[in-house]
Amino acid sequence: MNNQRCSTLLLKLRGRRGIIHCIYVVGFMDLFGVSMIIPLLSHHVKALGASPTVAGIVGSTYGILQLFSSTIVGSWSDVVGRRYSLLTSILLSAFGYGLLGISTSITLFVLARIPVGLFKHSLSICRALLSDLVSESERPLVMGHFNAASSVGFILGPVVGGYLTEHEGGFYTSSFTCAAIFLINAGLVWMLPWSEKITDRSETNCSNSASKGCPDDYCKKSAQNGAHANHRHPVLTAEKEADCRAPGKPRPGWREVSLLQPAWRQLTSVSSRIHMVASSDMWDLFLVRLLMAVAIMLYYSNFSLAMEERFSLKPKTTGYLISYSSTLGALAGFLVGPVTKLYRNNMAALLLHSTVLTCSLIFLYAAAPSVWQVLLTSTFFAISTSVGRTCITDLELQRGGAHASGTLIGAGQSVTAVGRVLAPLLSGLTQEISPCGPPSLGVVLALAAVGLLLIRIPKWDGRGLAKTVKL
């Protein structure tokens, strides 16, 4: 009997792996399509006759909409389930990019950016879905691989977009191609085996007793991963035990029936989740995220101009350096899993060390006497920031509970969006003083993040990183 249950578990684990790999493909295609468009937007707005001021206002529309919609859409995915929220996000984004393909006026261009700004949260929902599917110990590895796949798409997209732009009507072709990619993504998401009981890590927890008699080491390891998640989140144990006693009960990450609830009830549930996150004791993590987001953006904000003014570097050479750093950042996603194991899943210590390293690298870049030192700092900077992003997301999910992953990831994206609004302003002000002004301010902000972590991490350890948000 135990062998039969272990065989069933292994089949479900293999199916779940297939779903995870499909999500990797969705992430790759998502940023591949988006990055075809991003470099061309400012040129297209100017071609439509917009002044620099109007172009700046139009360009900020997307960021402002993302700022307010990230948390709402993320929380909505917790309420109605990942399938319908992800499909809605992808299809409305495809509509927005398709509308962009026929934007022959500023008005149409702005209208096209509205659905994208409101609903382009497919990557956040994918991360929440991955969090549903894996155990806490596996989550950094899976998130790192997903970030790597997405980053590769972001690197390759501009190459294709640039090639298409060389032909007549290239921007419109790129826009329709992006919309087509999103429609393909929607089809891929629709065809995933959502009805199967290949669900979140609670499925693994149900099999813990069976693993005792299972001769397969992989089966035992998977069950232990599920037990580890319960140990870190004792509040969820009762819920998961109830799920085990009710095999037919839908799992948290795959709730579809709630979509049939009245709109007012969905809105009430979303508001309740957002309020609990806002009133939780997670301000320290969100503040660290904001400080580091602004610091990293300041590092990149005037990179090309600084290279030209400080080292007389040609734009072409600077482009090669940026591509080199971006490629390393993508590959660094595969290092997250091994590094996490090296730290024995102590994400707080890993976040502190990666933040210290990032701060040091920004300082070395600001004080670099030669291009070779910039090259060296860019090499390790790409790695440290990639690890840091995964760490901060994983800590938010640890402390808030993975069952509210959509709300938490969405809130994190809203905080990052605030950084996108602040960074250009701060960069412009500090650049008036010196080309090294933006990264110098980045050092100060990163030091503030390090100080905050040194103060708060002992308190996290004292609570055992216990949940602070109960949704």
Same domain, 332 and 445: yes
Token output for 305: 């101009």
170, exposed or middle or buried, with CB in 10 Å at 0-12, 13-18, 19+?
A: middle
Same domain, 445 and 341: yes
Domain membership of residue 166 (yes or no) is yes
Domain-ending residue, one of 190, 221, 254: 190
Domain-ending residue, one of 172, 190, 208: 190
The CA distance from 111 to 403, in Å, is: 34
Q: What is the pLDDT at residue 242?
A: 39
Same domain, 287 and 408: yes
Q: Are 95 and 75 in contact (CB under 8 A)?
A: no
The CA distance from 108 to 111, in Å, is: 5
Same domain, 183 and 320: no
The CA distance from 31 to 25, in Å, is: 10
Length of the chain: 471
Q: What is the pLDDT at residue 277?
A: 81
pLDDT tens string, the chain, 471 residues long: the values are 555 555 555 546 666 788 899 999 999 999 999 988 887 887 788 888 877 777 777 777 888 888 889 999 999 988 888 888 999 999 999 999 999 988 888 889 989 999 999 999 999 999 999 988 888 888 899 999 999 999 899 888 888 887 887 778 888 899 999 999 999 999 999 988 876 534 444 444 444 333 444 444 434 443 333 333 333 333 333 333 334 434 444 444 334 445 556 677 778 888 888 888 877 888 899 999 999 999 999 998 878 778 888 888 887 788 788 888 888 888 888 888 899 989 988 999 999 999 999 999 999 999 988 889 899 998 899 889 989 999 999 998 888 876 678 889 999 999 998 988 888 888 888 888 888 888 999 999 999 999 999 999 888 754 445 444 445
CATH of the domain at 124: 1.20.1250.20
First to last CA, the chain: 36
Q: What is the pLDDT at residue 197?
A: 39
Q: What is the pLDDT at residue 30?
A: 95
Domain-ending residue, one of 173, 190, 207: 190
Same domain, 85 and 183: yes
Domain membership of residue 471 (yes or no) is no
Domain membership of residue 116 (yes or no) is yes
The number of folded domains in the chain is 2
pTM: 0.78
Token output for 303: 């990179």
Q: Are 365 and 439 in contact (CB under 8 A)?
A: yes
The CA distance from 314 to 322, in Å, is: 12
Domain membership of residue 263 (yes or no) is no
The CA distance from 68 to 49, in Å, is: 29
Same domain, 182 and 285: no
Same domain, 313 and 441: yes
SS (H, E, C) the chain: CHHHHHHHHHHHHHHHHHHHHHHHHHHHHHHHHHHHHHHHHHHHHHHCCCCHHHHHHHHHHHHHHHHHHHHHHHHHHHHHCHHHHHHHHHHHHHHHHHHHCCCCCHHHHHHHHHHHHHHCCHHHHHHHHHHHHCCCCCHHHHHHHHHHHHHHHHHHHHHHHHHHHCCCCHHHHHHHHHHHHHHHHHHHHHCCCCCCCCCCCHHHHHCHHHHCCCCCHHHHHHHHHHHHHHHHCHHHHHHHHHHHHCCCCCCHHHCCHHHHCCHHHHHHHHHHHHHHHHCCCCHHHHHHHHHHHHHHHHHHHCHHHHHHHHHCCCHHHHHHHHHHHHHHHHHHHHHHHHHHHHCCCCHHHHHHHHHHHHHHHHHHHHCCCCHHHHHHHHHHHHHHHHHHHHHHHHHHHHHHCHHHHHHHHHHHHHHHHHHHHHHHHHHHHHHCCCCCHHHHHHHHHHHHHHHHHHHHHHHHHHCCCCCCCCC
Domain membership of residue 32 (yes or no) is yes
Same domain, 287 and 177: no
Same domain, 308 and 161: no
Same domain, 174 and 318: no
Token output for 170: 């290239």
Instruction: Tell me the CA distances in angstroms from 165 to 170, 187, 356, 428, one per residue in order.
Output: 4, 27, 41, 30
Domain membership of residue 393 (yes or no) is yes
Same domain, 297 and 430: yes
Domain span at 372? 280-462
Amino acid 167 reads H
Same domain, 149 and 287: no
Estimate the crossing angle of helix 303-311 against helix 315-331, to 10 degrees.
Answer: 130
